Structure 1
Amino acid sequence: MYLEHWQLASKPFEPTTSGGFYYASESHQGALLKLRYALENGRGAALVAGPSGVGKTLLVHRLLAQLPDTVRPIVHVIYPQMSSRELLAYLASRLDPGTEPTTVTPSIDQSWLRIESALATAAERGERPIVVIDEAHLLEDNGTLETIRLLLNLQRNDTPLLTLLLIGQSALLSTLGRTPRLEERLDISALVDPLSADETHSYVQHRLAHAGATRPLFTEDAVDTLHQLSHGVARRINRLGDLALLVGYANGARVVDPSLVQSVASELAFARAA
């Protein structure tokens, strides 16, 4: 809607890291390096934690796209609030998709045997499955952390047959602190932080440039305001930046200034309150 007004080829603040929109902050690059090491070297479990909206899931998607073909299958659990029986049945169906589906949830023993068989077959093919669990800080609520830990007992020659990757908000660190038997099995812990003030400026410039901007569209003070209001959280920066461009287009603005960012943030706050 506003692309022609701002002379852009695409929207700069879409929630994606594809096509060159990925911004390599220091925190993201450090986490990416650690996680790639864990996955490519057959470690049993790794963790990535940080506040909501800092790009943990996008980072993991980018990581998985870079892995060799031997790291497969990749099972992504996006709804962890399942019972142990449901979770194991889900994992079994994804690790061993050849079995005919059934409307009856198999027993824990049945799913466990199926998982063991699937992992053994993958090992014989030289493959290493990855189980990615999003929103892992919710696992404690359902009492499934112990089930997750037991998956790491599936080994061959003292090497786990899969890699478990937990993604969660900062509360996940406290959760694991209360589950020492799982915490001690984690080989890598990577923390993703919000962007610093300087990184927010670089982030906005990078996004705008990749979207085709040929001139500054946000004043320096406007980006400072973006950082203050978003606390460096990329998701909030994207939302505020996108709406600022939209409202600026509607108002015929030639540049986004601090007052425009403030007004957009006030509208969002009013909408949430309503």
Structure 2
Amino acid sequence: MQSVRKWVCVAALLSGGALAAGSYRVQSGDTLSGIAVRAGISVSQLRAANPHLKNADAVQAGWVLTVPAPGRGAPARSGAAARRTHTVRSGENLTVIAARYGLNLTQLLSANPAYRNGKALWAGAKLVIPARTAPAANRVTIRAASTRASAWAWPLPGHHAISSGYGERVLEGEAEMHYGVDIVAPQGTPVRAARSGRVLESRPDFERGWGWTVVLEHPDGWITRYAHLSTNLVKVGELVVQGQPVGRVGNTGRSTGTHLHFGTYLRWDPHDPLSLY
């Protein structure tokens, strides 16, 4: 299956990347968690349907796997017995952990309320994994922003289509972590500061694939990145207010279409931007 390009709409992304129940031949770059996410199941369900994966941490190209339907492949449990814990490993984030257990981010945060307001996730922390009551939601949606004074402003008002969400993905045949969300908008659309702060970076960063990028630091330790811009509108050291244009949407750097890469970090620890709205 060819990897889906970042610039396509959400509906095309879903139709091209989802796996139906049945047999699937492993492709180069596939991972257990990646296959499970595309099938809408947990890794444990995928292992249960393929006994030879019981002790395997990786899959090999060419293997043929049985992909169970969502909600099948593992014995059902109820009540407290269905709740498990997960010990966070280095490099994991809430979105990836939720997908691994067949949950969506809202379900995981509901069981772990301490992380609802952006608390940093450290290796070794233990998360409660709730019982899965419904198939994980694949479509990325934007919730209405809060009206409280400290709310985050959406960087592209009127443009909410996400072509690539936060977490594991396959791009150009290679598995990688995507530490942000890609928001589709026309070339030149003004990109606005999600919060007030100071300009930490405003430069072309083609070495790391960001293209023209702006990075803002905010008073409480949060940092935001706006990448693949066509134009930068602020300078390093400048103070900006929430909603102020800091650049314009473009297609520079490692980008396969016109969009904004929006990343959020708490003291440089990446967080899913959608969890802040």
**TM-score (norm. length: structure 1):** 0.23
Q: Which protein has the larger Cα radius of gyration, Structure 1 or Structure 2? A: 1
- Which structure features the higher share of strand residues? 2
